[in-house]
């Protein structure tokens, strides 16, 4: 079955983290993704469902193959530091002179411009300056990043996908491509939209751990169970809070004034004591039959066998204790080899000169 992006051709210069993830999403949605790697480059993570082609862009023969593929592509994704593409002679303007409908997505942490543009960085740095890291802490505690999900993959990879899809829609109207500056800091800052709006309305405090959604409210937090596991409680709305109150045995008096922060310490103690009286499995069973917005906190290993996720088919087993997430609306298949992709795109492979990555691949 063809995916939603069947017929869309993407050339990816393999980089780190967010760009490969974005291209993985495009590939899983059915796009034809040709991934160009440097000689000897590691390709361990997030390169499934793609056709890999090793090229040395400093070698004329290899560079010619890359340019020929780009001439026939719809999208190019690169995640070099600003200026690298220009030094390689494959800057966006040159590429678009050859292919006017080309969409060039430039994925970086800090963006193509701004004081930090030439600097190195990682997820934790990007989310730090946008305020997204500061909200992930309790009073008096250090900020705690959730691995690199918020910056790299939400603010970066998913933002890349959205930007590419939007550019494809625009090109369908105008026939003209685009150069997109996809910065992780931009996407991450955009993710904080609701918090900025709440803050502007006086509904969000700058003091961490004092708001309804940052573990300030006792009915939106994680609690330890009798067996050392954890349960997540998210009973924000009144009706769900009342069901939670029934489960943990709150008195009529204790249920009054739940929005008053002065009552939160007492509520937290009562909820914590009740949660500690049962095991995580017992609370998981309760969560399946009572709408109180409760869920067991699972490890990555445990998530693979959780009944709801198994029923949805969002984690596909790849080993005895390993899974790979898949898009329910996506298209996952074994991709053809790079040579087959090039032939299908109409790219003629030249006889490679000695020393090129193409020559080494042909000899292997």
Q: For position 288, what pLDDT does the model report?
A: 95
Structural domain spans, the chain: 9-192+334-345, 220-297
Given a cut of 70, whether residue 212 has pLDDT beyond it is yes
Q: For position 48, what pLDDT does the model report?
A: 87
Q: For position 361, what pLDDT does the model report?
A: 60
pLDDT tens digit sequence for 320-342: 889 999 888 876 667 889 999 99
DSSP 89: T
Q: For position 1, what pLDDT does the model report?
A: 59
Give the number of residues written for the chain: 364
Q: For position 246, what pLDDT does the model report?
A: 97
For the chain, how long is the longest CA-to-CA vector?
83
What percentage of the chain reaches a pLDDT higher than 90? 85
Alpha carbons 48 and 38: distance in angstroms, whole number: 17
| CA-based torsion, 352, 358, 359, 361: positive or negative | negative
User: Could you tell me if 126 and 109 are in contact, meaning their C-beta atoms sit under 8 angstroms apart?
Assistant: yes
Alpha carbons 121 and 156: distance in angstroms, whole number: 13
What lies within 8 Å, CB to CB, of 182 at 6+ separation is 105, 106, 107, 108, 156, 159, 160, 163
DSSP string of 316-329, one letter each residue: EEEETTEEEE--TT
User: Could you tell me if 48 and 83 are in contact, meaning their C-beta atoms sit under 8 angstroms apart?
Assistant: no
> Is 69 buried (19+), middle (13-18) or exposed (0-12) by CB count in 10 A?
buried
Q: For position 363, what pLDDT does the model report?
A: 54
Residue of higher predicted confidence among 167 and 40: 167
- In sequence order, the β-bridge partners of residue 12 are 35, 77
The position carrying tokens 């090793």 is 54
Question: For 117-133, what is the mean pLDDT?
Answer: 97
Q: For position 169, what pLDDT does the model report?
A: 98
**Angle of CA points 263, 266, 268, to nearest 5°:** 105
Q: For position 351, what pLDDT does the model report?
A: 63
**Angle of CA points 215, 158, 197, to nearest 5°:** 45
H/E segment holding residue 65: helix 60-71
User: Could you tell me if 95 and 104 are in contact, meaning their C-beta atoms sit under 8 angstroms apart?
Assistant: yes
CATH code of the region 220-297: 3.30.1540.10
Burial 299-332 (b: 16+ CB within 10 A, else e): eeeeebeeeebeeeeebeeeeeeebeebeeebbb
pLDDT tens digit sequence for 67-116: 999 999 999 999 999 999 999 989 999 999 999 999 999 999 999 999 99
Given a cut of 90, whether residue 199 has pLDDT beyond it is yes
| Domain 9-192+334-345 falls under CATH 3.40.50.10540 | yes
pLDDT tens digit sequence for 141-186: 999 999 999 999 999 999 999 999 999 999 999 999 999 999 999 9
Q: For position 329, what pLDDT does the model report?
A: 80
Mean pLDDT, the chain, integer: 93
Alpha carbons 255 and 355: distance in angstroms, whole number: 75
Would you please indicate which residues are annotated as catalytic (active-site) residues? 122, 152
């Amino acid at each position: 079955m063809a995916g939603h992006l069947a017929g869309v051709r993407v050339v990816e210069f393999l980089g780190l983290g967010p760009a490969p993830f974005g291209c993985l999403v495009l590939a899983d949605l059915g796009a034809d993704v040709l991934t160009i790697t440097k000689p000897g480059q590691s390709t361990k993570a997030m390169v499934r469902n793609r056709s890999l082609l090793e090229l040395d862009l400093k070698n004329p023969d290899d560079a010619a193959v890359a340019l020929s593929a780009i001439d026939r592509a719809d999208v190019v994704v690169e995640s070099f530091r600003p200026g690298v593409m220009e030094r390689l002679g494959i800057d966006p303007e040159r590429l678009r002179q050859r292919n006017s409908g080309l969409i060039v997505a430039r994925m970086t942490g800090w963006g193509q411009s701004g004081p930090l543009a030439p600097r190195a960085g990682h997820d934790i740095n990007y989310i730090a300056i946008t305020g997204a890291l500061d909200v992930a802490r309790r009073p008096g505690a250090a900020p705690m990043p959730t691995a690199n999900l918020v910056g790299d993959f939400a603010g970066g990879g998913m933002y890349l996908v959205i930007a590419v899809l939007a550019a494809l829609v625009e090109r369908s109207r105008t026939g003209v491509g685009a150069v997109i500056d996809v910065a992780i800091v931009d996407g991450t800052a955009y993710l904080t939209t609701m918090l900025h709006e709440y803050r502007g309305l006086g509904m969000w405090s700058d003091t961490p751990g004092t708001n309804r959604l940052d573990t300030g409210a006792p009915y939106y937090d994680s609690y330890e169970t009798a067996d050392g596991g954890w349960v997540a409680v998210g009973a924000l709305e009144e009706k769900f809070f009342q069901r939670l109150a029934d489960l943990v045995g709150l008195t009529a008096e204790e249920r009054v004034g739940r929005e008053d922060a002065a009552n939160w310490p007492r509520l937290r103690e009562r909820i914590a004591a009740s949660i500690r009286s049962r095991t995580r499995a017992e609370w998981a069973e309760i969560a399946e039959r009572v709408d109180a917005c409760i869920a067991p906190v699972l490890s990555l290993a445990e998530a693979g066998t959780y009944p709801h996720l198994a029923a949805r088919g969002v984690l596909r087993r790849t080993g005895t204790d390993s899974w790979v997430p898949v898009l329910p609306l996506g298209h996952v298949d074994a991709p053809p080899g790079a040579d087959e992709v090039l032939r299908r795109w109409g790219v003629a492979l030249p006889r490679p000169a000695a020393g090129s990555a193409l020559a080494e691949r042909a000899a292997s």
